[in-house]
Structure 1
Amino acid sequence: MVTKKTFKIFVDFDGTITKKDIGEILFLRFGDAEKAGEIVKDWIDQKINSRESWRLLCRTIENLDKKEFDRFIDSQEIDDSFKTFVDYCNDNRHEIRIVSDGLDYYIDRILNKEGLSFVQRFSNKLVFDNSGGFYPEFPYTDEECDRCANCKRNHIINYSDDEDYTVYIGDGYSDLCPAQYCDFIFAKGSLLRYCEINRITYFPFENFTDVIDKLNELSARKRLKKRYQAQLKRKEVYIQG
């Protein structure tokens, strides 16, 4: 009898768990849309890093209507199959963590609304000041790896070890680095295109039902091979540490 494998699973939030990239559309909606669009493009083109982009984006919003801001966040939807996926992970002893380069304010609000506040997550912080303004803070930054404000790679390293099978699920530019440190990658959007261009093995997915089906197949295999390049990348970090 084959013992089913368990996985350490790391999931992006914006555009992966949610149907839209909330961190981007918030600033297009409430800030200066033209400036916000330029800032996002500069980040994608690597002219600025994620920390700088969040600082600049926050400055594009003036005289924020907090109630309207909250209503807009509350109107955003998550993938219809994500709750089922969380239940699946719990039932099968797969550890699941959300790793986001977004902001905790909307992430926490959406997870609370969906009854998923118990899911562990790591993100950047949005701090509101007494004058009605707000600014970002970065509790999980890495000065040596400064592409993202929240270093997702470090969470993967901190919450897995050599004998674990690691899984990354994502769709965007902030997922390009951390996905490379995981054995199995589920990709769509920009992450999928990156994997194709760089010949990185991945599984395409449209929703979390697709992920469940593939994980069931993987966990039932008698022998499960880890991705060699991911092992090498993790080893590099261990040696540096």
Structure 2
Amino acid sequence: MRNPIIICDFDGTITESDNIIAIMNKFAPAGWEAIKDQILSREVSIQEGVGKMFSLLPSDLKENIIDYLNHNSRIREGFTEFLSFIKENNIPFYVVSGGIDFFVYKLLEDHIEPSKIYCNRADFSGENIQIQWPYSCDQVCSNQGCGCCKPSVIRSMDTEDFEVIVIGDSITDLEAAKGADYIFARDFLADQCDKLSLPYSRFETFFDCKLALEESLEVKM
């Protein structure tokens, strides 16, 4: 049996809510909702849409945004215990997120070292925030414009000797989940796993993930 490697989403998975939507609700001027609807209808790509939304925000809001998320973003219950468990069992764990570095790193600084985090980057050198895409789609990706392309990131890793486990909640996790050996899912992703008959466990807290993983490791032993 292969050992597991875990690829975990951030917004709506590690955190209880989507931080990009929270930022837009709090700080963005009128017009961001129309861009969000275009993303959801696939009229524009995730990369194009998220870039447009952040370009509505002045760069000098950086510290205000970080302070707002520090006070309002919540880490999902059981996450600390889950990290302790996978560390004890030497299970590789990576966060692969469509979020932006300046808040993803900040919210995870007490939990995960930056080298284990793949996410988009923000440039505050101009008048408005500009997003950079260091982990964009490779040539194999059929979507193009994913922003942080999770399947492309996974393909760049040496996973041949591992059982790939994806943890996520939304449409941005679906393509990665399709290529995974197993999935921990909630919300939209769980519904899609049902429709596509993908192998998964539904979770609400990371205690659920920990229990399912414990049982899986016991079976393998």
Question: Normalising by the residue count of structure 2, what TM-score does the alignment of the two structures yield?
Answer: 0.90
Q: Is the 8 A contact 1:10 1:167 kept in 2?
A: yes
**Which aligned runs of 4 or more in structure 1 are off by greater than 4 angstroms?**
none
Matched, 1:158 2:156: yes
- Deviation at residue 186 of structure 1 after TM alignment: 0.6
Structure-2 change in CA distance of 1:222 and 1:139 (3 Å): closer
SS at match of 1:139: coil
1:37 deviates by 1.8
Deviations 1:99-140 (A, max 9, x none): 00111111011112x343356110110111154x22000011
Aligned partners of 1:8 and 1:96 also within 8 Å:
yes
Q: Mean alpha-carbon deviation: is it higher for 58-67 or for 148-157?
A: 58-67
Most deviating of 169-178 and 198-207: 198-207
Name the CA distance, whole Å, in 1 between partners of 2:173 and 2:66. Answer: 27
Q: Residues of 2 paired with 1:44 and 1:77: CA distance?
A: 24
The equivalent residue for 1:91 is: 88
| Partner of residue 135, structure 1 | 130
8 Å CA contact 1:27–1:60 kept in 2: the answer is: no
Q: Are the equivalent residues in 2 in contact too, given 1:58–1:134 (CA < 8 A)?
A: yes
**Which segment drifts farther, 119-128 or 183-192?**
119-128
Stretches of structure 2 lacking an aligned partner (at least 5 in a row): none
1:70 counterpart = 2:44: no
Conserved 8 A contact 1:30-1:64: no
Q: How many residues align?
A: 217
Matched, 1:194 2:204: no
State the match for 1:42 in structure 2.
38
% of aligned pairs identical?
Answer: 24
Instruction: Report whether the alignment pairs 1:61 with 2:63.
Output: no
Tell me the C-alpha RMSD between the 2 structures. Answer: 2.0
Q: Is the 8 A contact 2:59 2:129 kept in 1?
A: no
In the other structure, the counterpart of 1:109 is 106
The counterpart of 1:12, out of the listed 4, 9, 21, is: 9
* Greater C-alpha radius of gyration: 1
What amino acid does structure 1 have at the position aligned with 2:36?
Answer: V
Shift of 1:5: 6.1
Correspondent of 1:26 among 14, 23, 28: 23
1:12 to partner: Cα distance = 0.1
State the one-letter code of the partner of 2:8.
V
The CA deviation at 1:147 is 4.5
| Local SS of the residue matching 2:219 | coil
Deviates more, 1:62-71 or 1:179-188: 62-71
Alignment match, 1:123: 119
1:174 to 169, 172, 175: 172
Q: CA deviation at 1:221?
A: 1.6
Ranges in structure 1 where 5+ consecutive residues have no aligned partner = 224-241
Deviating more after overlay: 213-222 vs 138-147:
138-147
CA distance change for structure 1 residues 5 and 87 in 2, over 3 Å: closer, same or farther? farther
SS at match of 1:221: helix
